[in-house]
């Protein structure tokens, strides 16, 4: 008899023998236990149906896109527009005065002030783009960890994945170990992450200085900039640097930021699909075994 039919009929065959022996369990007790078992089974089946209909990974993918485009790109755009409007107004006032008859000294002063306003605006916009990249790296890490936690429904996390490497290296190990995702075969999908991470770290941990000063005992003042500056970042990532020598700064261009955003969105979308496929396969196996 199918288990659901058995439970639906009370779980007790009609030919259940009456007995007063020591091992006898009254039918009403067995029926009560059967009903509880039936309730548990229905709950399990309902949870499976819930997982079948609820795609947590796509939901996180959609939320990730929303946060990136609204909170990161939107905030960057609004802040940049504000800075540009402020700079434009300030420059207009300076230029208005510059068109009046002035002595050479005061005119030079206004020219210098004009340049300062332009340089300050450029530096502030650079800061905003740098912070947008930092926010993107943090949000990407959060999305990957959240999807891994959601996958507990079909692949239990049995250990911590700390140890060697960056937080992203640890995530790749976890996704490989728990879900069988081959990042070597899909190296192109995560190739951008190491650059994103190192640029983020230089901004956060080194105050966006591209070339940091070496410890005194390692300096060689007869070897130019390389003698007293650690220039590994500017040499490895020249496309993320503005300026030279001790004044070099990390500068994330609009183009580079857009590239990282697209790559991040694509990565989260791909992993969301991979996890969902594995979850549905797990649900199908569970249903087949019932």
- List, as one string, the DSSP characters of the chain: --HHHHHHTTS--TTPPP--STT---HHHHHHHHHHHHHHHHHHHHHHHHHHH--HHHHHHHHHHHIIIIIIIIHHHHHHHHHHHHHHHHHHHHHHHHTS---HHHHHHHHHHHHHHHHHHHHHHHHHHHHHHHHHHHHHHHHHHHHHHHGGGTS---S---SSS-HHHHHHHHHHHHH---TTTTHHHHHHHHHHHHHHHHHHHSTTBSSEEPPGGG--TTSTHHHHEE-HHHHH-GGGEES-GGG-EE---HHHHHHHHHHHHHHHHHHHHHHHHHHHHHHHHHHHT-
Q: Is residue 15 part of a domain?
A: yes
- Is there a single domain that holds both residue 44 and residue 152? no
- Is there a single domain that holds both residue 34 and residue 149? no
- Is there a single domain that holds both residue 85 and residue 109? yes
- Is there a single domain that holds both residue 151 and residue 281? yes
- Is there a single domain that holds both residue 279 and residue 260? yes
Q: Is residue 240 part of a domain?
A: no
* Domain boundaries, position 31: 3-52
Residue segments in the chain with a per-residue pLDDT below the cut of 50: 1-19, 38, 41-42, 45, 50
What is the predicted pLDDT for the residue at 35?
54
- Is there a single domain that holds both residue 160 and residue 178? yes
Q: Is residue 69 part of a domain?
A: yes
What is the predicted pLDDT for the residue at 171?
96
- Is there a single domain that holds both residue 61 and residue 131? yes
- Is there a single domain that holds both residue 10 and residue 102? no
- Is there a single domain that holds both residue 40 and residue 111? no
What is the predicted pLDDT for the residue at 8?
41
Q: Is residue 80 part of a domain?
A: yes
What is the predicted pLDDT for the residue at 38?
46
Q: Is residue 189 part of a domain?
A: yes
- Is there a single domain that holds both residue 187 and residue 166? yes
- Is there a single domain that holds both residue 34 and residue 91? no
- Is there a single domain that holds both residue 48 and residue 105? no
Q: Is residue 214 part of a domain?
A: no
Q: Is residue 221 part of a domain?
A: no
Tell me which of 35, 52, 69 is where a domain ends. Answer: 52
Q: Is residue 46 part of a domain?
A: yes
Q: What is the number of domains present in the chain?
A: 2
What is the predicted pLDDT for the residue at 161?
87
What is the predicted pLDDT for the residue at 139?
98
What is the predicted pLDDT for the residue at 16?
38
């Amino acid at each position: 008899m199918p288990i659901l039919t058995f439970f639906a009929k009370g779980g007790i065959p009609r030919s259940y023998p009456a007995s007063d022996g020591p091992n006898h369990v009254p039918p009403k007790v067995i029926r009560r236990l059967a009903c509880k078992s039936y309730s548990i089974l229905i709950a399990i089946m309902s949870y499976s149906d819930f997982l079948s209909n609820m795609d947590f990974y796509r939901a996180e993918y959609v939320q990730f896109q929303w946060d990136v485009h609204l909170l990161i790109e939107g905030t960057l755009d609004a802040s940049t527009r504000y800075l540009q409007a402020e700079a434009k107004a300030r420059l207009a006032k300076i230029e208005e005065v510059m068109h009046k008859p002035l002595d050479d000294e005061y005119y030079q002063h206004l020219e210098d002030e004009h340049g300062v306003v332009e340089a300050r605006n450029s530096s502030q916009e650079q800061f905003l783009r740098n912070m947008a990249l930092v926010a993107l790296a943090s949000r990407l890490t959060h999305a990957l960890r959240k999807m891994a936690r959601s996958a507990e429904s079909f692949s239990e996390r049995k250990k911590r994945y700390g140890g060697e490497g960056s937080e992203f290296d640890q995530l790749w190990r976890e996704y490989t170990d728990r879900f069988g995702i081959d990042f070597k075969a899909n190296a192109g999908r995560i190739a951008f992450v190491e650059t994103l991470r190192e640029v983020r770290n230089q901004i956060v941990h080194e105050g966006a200085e591209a070339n940091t000063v070496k410890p005194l005992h390692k300096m060689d003042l007869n070897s130019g900039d390389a003698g007293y500056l650690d220039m590994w970042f500017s040499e490895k990532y020249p496309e993320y640097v503005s300026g030279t020598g001790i004044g070099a700064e990390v500068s994330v261009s609009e183009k580079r930021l857009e590239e990282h955003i697209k790559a991040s969105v694509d990565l989260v979308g791909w992993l969301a699909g991979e996890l969902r496929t594995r979850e549905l396969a797990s649900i199908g196996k569970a249903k087949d075994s019932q």
